[in-house]
Structure formats: structure tokens, C-alpha cells
Amino acid sequence: MSKRALITGITGQDGSYLAELLLAKGYEVHGLVRRVAAEDPDQRYSRIVHILPRIQIQAGSLECQPSVFNVVEKVRPDECYHLAAQSSVGYGAQDEFQTWNVNVSGTHYLLAALRQLAPRCKMFFAASSEIFGAGDGSPRTETSPFQPRSLYGISKLAGFELARHYREKHGLFAATGILFNHESPRRGMEFVTRKITRAVAAILAGRAETIDLWNVSAARDWGAAPDFVEGMWLMLQAEEPEDYVLATGTARTVAQFAEAAFSSAGLDWTRFVASGAAASATGSGEPAMTGDPSRALQKLNWRSRTSFDNLVRQMVEADLQLSGLDPAQVMARASA
């Protein structure tokens, strides 16, 4: 008998890759989506349209306790992957009440519903490296101090503590992944990595001349989303629920990302980055924060397998295709 999984945030980057992974493993996959998404599938389901016939969509709202309970009661999942969140740090500051309702109350409702209606379900909670706060140059582990500096980070820390509470107090199999930045061709348009790869395509298509980048010296630990969702799945296959950092362990600057993206298409990035920001591909700024994934490697045999250059190349190729260009031709000219 196949396992039944419930994914919140199935229409997002991580949710779509996770759904593909679970389907490939023979799972029955259910996705919790907001009713507004269910009413506008062409726009909201763009990342999962190719698998819609193979999954079951459950309309509901994480901001409504009865709605969450109704979905859990209907699905009775064996595994629950809680990925849905208001995930923009900037937006979290603009609408702090919705951020709290979705990221904290929604997580609480889901944990309570699983405890009451599906107590044997294994639950994964997606936390964020934002719970650590600012970087100081040292890699972050599962035992590093939490010092969030944004409402988003605070909300994710609250979710982390709720999951731990339900694990320790109520015996729920609740495991948290502390996720560092992870990208893909399905990354949201509002993130800097996707802005860069879209700019490469727009410039080659003749629809743009430059891109403005605010701080090219900012550094992030960037991994690949498909690798990270495999880590999520592995966490729920373990005998005991534990928390893990998922990261690559290497930080790169926005300038390095731009350099890799433009060079993959045969362009010199310094010619196209506006505002005089293209002075250096290494830059300097506040200390970078990286994650230490050694515990996940040791206990789950998980590592981020996609190289940085391959990740960037995949994103550029996807945006070239979306712009009506032939990625193979562009890349062939770039390597000639």
C-alpha cells in the first residue's frame, strides 16, 4: 500500500519538486492550497500543471483552524511536509500580521490537527537560516544560537519551537529542516537570483540593456532546490525525528552569481550591471553566513550534489527558453 503525503505549499518551488519526488517513489500526493489558488489554476498552478492529473488538491487556508483540521481529517496523511509560508523577509515587515498568522498560527493549527487526527503521521517543518540572524563568518549548525533580526525569522523560529514542543511534549514525529538559500528555475521572480537569470535572457532577447543590483557584495549559501527536497524526504525516513541544517557550506556573492549567469551565455557581466555596482566579483560587506551540513551527511547521507555553476546554468537556460530563445544555440555560441 502506497504512503499518503500532504504537502502545504505544493504550488511553490519546493512543493513542486517535492511532489515530483514523492510521485516517483509511489506516494499518493495531496496538496493544500488556498482557495484563491484553486479558483485560478492557470496562474497559480504553473509549477505543478504537468503533474496535476496525478495529485489531489485540497482547498483550505492555514489561517483558519477549522479549515486545516478538515483537510487533515480528510487526507489522514502518513507524512506531512509543511512548506507553505509567507517567505519574503521584506514582505514580512510590510504585513507582519499576515506573516504571523500564516507562519506561526498556521503551523500551530497543523501540528494540533496532526496530533489529534493523524498522530502517527511524520511531519516535516521548513525553517530558515533567517532564524540565526546575521552572519559572523562561522558556519551555522543545529546548536548555533538563534538571533533572528526580521519578523520572518522570528516567525520561523516560533514554528521551529512549536514543532519541537509537539515532538517532546506530545510524541509527534516532527522534524525541522533549517534551510539555507536554495534556488532553481522555479524560483520566484522576486528573488535576486531569478532577477539575474531573467535579465540575462531579456538582454539577449533585446528587451533590456542593463540590470540594477543593489548590493553585489552580499553573500549567500546557495544550493539547489531539488537537492533540498530530497533532504526533507530523508528526514522523515529516519527512525527518530531530529532537526537538520540543509546547506552547501559555501557562500558566494551576488556578484559571483551574476558573473556565472552572464558568462554562461557568453556575456561580460560588468557591462550590464548598472549603478556602478560591478566593481568586484568578490566584494566585501557583512560577514557571510554559511550552513554546516555535516550532521545531515553523517546521519542521512545527504549532501547538496548540484554544483553552483550547473545550478546557475540551469536557471539561465530555463529563462532563455521562457524568453523564446534557444538555450542550446546560446550556450554553443558562448562556448565557441
Interatomic CA distance for residues 84 and 199, integer angstroms? 28
Dihedral, CA of residue 175, residue 307, residue 187 and residue 92, to nearest 10: 50
User: Does 130 qualify as catalytic in the annotation?
Assistant: yes
Report DSSP state, residue 180: P
At residue 222, the 3 state secondary structure works out as coil
User: Which of these is catalytic: 128, 129, 150, 184?
Assistant: 128
Q: Are 117 and 109 in contact (CB under 8 A)?
A: no
From the candidates 79, 130, 183, 230, which is the catalytic residue? 130
Rg (CA), the chain: 20
Task: Give the span between the Cα atoms of 331 and 336, in whole angstroms.
Answer: 9
Residue in 52, 176, 39, 179 with CA at minimum distance from that of residue 107? 176
DSSP class of residue 201 equals H
Name the one residue in this structure whose C-alpha cell is 496532526: 114
Pairing of strands 211-212, 273-274: parallel
Residues 6+ apart with CB under 8 A from 188: 12, 13, 194
Q: Is 123 helix (H, G, I), strand (E, B) or coil?
A: strand
Q: Is 17 a catalytic residue?
A: no
Let me know if 128 is a catalytic residue: yes
Find the catalytic residue in 152, 166, 230, 259: 152
Phi, psi (rounded to 5 degrees) for 10: -65, -25
Cell numbers at residue 328, please? Answer: 542550446
Catalytic residue list: 128, 130, 152
